[in-house]
Amino acid sequence: MFDTSKYRINPGQTVDISQLDPDGESTSEVKKGDSKNETKKLIRKLDGLQEQLFAEHAHRLLVVLQAMDTGGKDGVIRRIFEGVNPSGVRVAHFRQPSQDEVDHGFLWRVYEQIPTIGEIVIFNRSHYEGVLVERVHNLVPKSVWEGRYQEINEFEKILAHEGITILKFFLHIDSEEQKRRIEERLADPTKEWKFSDDDVQERKHWDDYMKAYEAVLSCTSTEYSPWYAVPSNHRWLRDLVVSSLVVETLEGFKMKYPKLPSNLKKVKIPSLK
């Protein structure tokens, strides 16, 4: 069994991102080829587990994806959740908030997107933008974003109390890998549309973002809402870690398909001929 516990940020742990290996070479237990095969098996298993989740209608799963630009959020969603039934899985994107959303408070738009019973919701970016982008660019005073760590913990505790299981993934790449991926976009006509000058401008704030992520991981990884720092320089390892954790979590629900009432089992289906 692939050991995912090494990627978990323990509650109270002080995180130094420079000590997290984005290649994952020192902790990887499998080779690239084996990893890809294992991930394919996990994705097939996820398909069945998600159907059980939807059918049983007893659990809710929230998956939070955070990363620097090109970190792989879209890739995780596209590859790992490719086989699931779209009626039971939903992706919520959190881009720059509207004025109405700002006026309501930074958690307001998030609560609207939480999963219903039987549903998996994936946050592509999330409420953590309020202590990342807004911190790095001084969009709110320090006293405001500092207080948000506790607000986030309390908010996620409420979600957990309501029966929502939360998995949070920091897809960790280094600055050289980001540079390579941006250049890859520019060289590929099918990907160049993804490029924006904002990618270059945001890259200038790399060190500030790393400090902000260190605070996020240190202050908001809890027993009820843990963070996992996923080595993401290699897509194959990233996909293995994320798919393993999602499958482990769903299997932990010990789900069963609902039983058909005995009176319905005796129903005779009439022929239309």
Distance CA 250, CA 253 (A): 5
pLDDT score at 144 = 95
Contacts 24+ apart (CB under 8 A), 142-145: none
User: Cα dihedral sign for 104, 109, 110, 111?
Assistant: positive
Q: For the CA atoms of 126, 132, 137, 142, what is the dihedral angle to 10 degrees?
A: 120
Contact 72, 240 (CB under 8 A): no
Q: What was the pLDDT predicted at 3?
A: 86
Q: How far is residue 219 from each of residues 26, 113, 205, 254, measured CA to CA in Å?
A: 26, 23, 21, 31
**pTM for the full model?**
0.93
Distance CA 74, CA 71 (A): 9
Tens of pLDDT, residue by residue over 130-181, are: 999 999 999 999 999 999 999 999 999 999 999 999 999 999 999 999 999 9
**Residue 244 · residue 2 · CB < 8 Å:** yes
Structural domains present in the chain = 5-257 (3.40.50.300)
Who's near 77: CB < 8 A, 6+ residues apart? 65, 91, 122, 124
Classified as helix, coil or strand, 270 is coil
d(CA 240, CA 217): 21
Longest pairwise C-alpha distance within the chain: 74
- pLDDT by residue (tens digit) across 213-237? 999 999 999 999 999 999 999 999 9
The set of residues, in sequence order, having a beta carbon less than 8 Å from that of 58 and lying 6+ positions away, is 117, 118, 253, 255
DSSP secondary structure letter of residue 131: G
pLDDT of residue 13: 96
Cα four-point dihedral sign 125, 126, 130, 135: negative
Question: Concatenated DSSP letters for 169-192?
Answer: EEEE--HHHHHHHHHHHHH-TTTG
Q: In which residue ranges of the chain is pLDDT below 70?
A: 1, 26-30
Crossing angle of the two packed helices 235-252 and 32-56, in degrees rounded to 10: 30
